[in-house]
């Protein structure tokens, strides 16, 4: 059997009638459940932290300065809509907990800036949304001289500039991820700069290359570059995964993780924009950006 025989045999095998098509609704429900589980884990960590801090405060008679009359920064977004009041030691329902009516199709997401629960993991207004927006501004601020950062939507309707803030939480502790992408253009060709920030307690690896390879699970050949006293993992992608060509990863001392990446192709890869021949930044420049305070967002 050679490769052509195998191709023919596989085609013949796949000519059999498959089972009925899978249903989008079931896949969507499974996806929503997965997101809720992640959010619930995040809230469980937050709730544990609240419990510990409260116990310490009560038992030791401590007064937490700055907490009177207001929520801690992480308490607001982590609080469910219509959260039941804690009575007799019972804890408020965490994010993603089914409502009192038992409708597990309506998770309680963190609150958006308008006081209403988010529709999904993505913030559409409020403090976290603004952090995502700020990240885009910081990306635009580091576009190299001689390059432009166009705006708008080309024919594939994917915006040339984009930002988002999304609640995460694979490990204990409420974590947010901010993502910003900007198309950059020069000499009639377009590529992309991207930054992604994960707040504290993100569970990402500490070792620079392990951290870098974790970016979108893309792996790749990594080298460690030194920027001052900082060690930065830099990966150049190869092979078929063409989402991103190169990225740098840095973990700040407080646990906040910054990824800065660049691509020869703008995110609107299906449009008619020509891809870049060369990347906008060198590896040392990419590594230097990753440690910049401008991307250190909490």
Closest to other proteins by CB, 237 or 281 = 237
CB of 238 to other proteins, least distance (A): 7
- Tokens 């990446």 sit on residue: 261
Closest to other proteins by CB, 182 or 288 = 182
Residues near other proteins (CB under 8 A) are 1-3, 6-7, 9-10, 12-19, 21-22, 24-28, 30-32, 34-35, 38, 119-122, 156, 158, 162, 164, 166, 179, 181, 196, 216-217, 219, 237-243, 265, 267-270
Distance CA 89, CA 58 (A): 13
**Two tokens at 12?**
């013949």
**Two tokens at 64?**
């937490």
Closest to other proteins by CB, 17 or 90 = 17
Q: What is the pairing mode between strands 274-275 and 189-198?
A: parallel
Closest to other proteins by CB, 49 or 244 = 244
CB of 165 to other proteins, least distance (A): 10
CB of 88 to other proteins, least distance (A): 35
Distance CA 45, CA 200 (A): 12
Closest to other proteins by CB, 142 or 237 = 237
**Two tokens at 105?**
């199709």
CB of 293 to other proteins, least distance (A): 24
Label residue 96 left, alpha or beta by phi (over 0 means left) and psi (-120 to 50 means alpha). left
Distance CA 108, CA 91 (A): 15
Rg of the chain over Cα atoms, rounded to whole angstroms, equals 23
């Amino acid at each position: 059997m050679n490769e052509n025989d195998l191709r023919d045999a596989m085609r013949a095998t796949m000519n059999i009638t498959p089972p009925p098509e899978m249903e989008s609704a079931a896949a969507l429900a499974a996806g929503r459940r997965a997101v809720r589980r992640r959010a619930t884990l995040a809230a469980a960590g937050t709730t544990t932290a609240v419990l510990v801090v409260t116990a310490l405060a009560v038992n030791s008679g401590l007064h937490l300065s700055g907490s009177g009359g207001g929520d801690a920064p992480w308490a607001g977004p982590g609080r469910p809509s219509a959260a039941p009041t804690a009575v007799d030691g019972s804890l408020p329902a965490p994010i993603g907990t089914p409502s009192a009516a038992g409708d597990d199709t309506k998770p309680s997401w963190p609150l958006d800036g308008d006081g209403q629960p988010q529709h999904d993991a993505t913030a559409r207004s409020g403090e976290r949304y603004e952090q995502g927006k700020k990240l885009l501004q910081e990306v635009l601020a580091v576009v190299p001289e001689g390059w432009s950062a166009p705006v708008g939507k080309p024919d594939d309707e994917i915006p040339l500039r984009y930002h988002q803030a999304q609640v995460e939480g694979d490990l204990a502790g409420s974590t947010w991820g901010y993502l910003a992408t900007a198309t950059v253009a020069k000499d009639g060709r377009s590529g992309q700069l991207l930054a992604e920030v994960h707040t504290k307690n993100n569970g990402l690896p500490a070792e620079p290359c392990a951290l870098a390879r974790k970016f979108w699970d893309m792996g790749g050949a990594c080298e460690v570059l030194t920027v001052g006293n900082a060690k930065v993992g830099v990966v150049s992608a190869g092979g078929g995964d063409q989402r991103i060509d190169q990225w740098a990863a840095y973990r700040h001392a407080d646990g906040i993780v910054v990824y800065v990446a660049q691509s020869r192709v703008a995110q609107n890869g299906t449009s008619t924009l020509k891809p870049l021949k060369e990347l906008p930044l060198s590896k040392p420049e990419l590594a230097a950006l990753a440690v910049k305070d401008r991307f250190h967002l909490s």
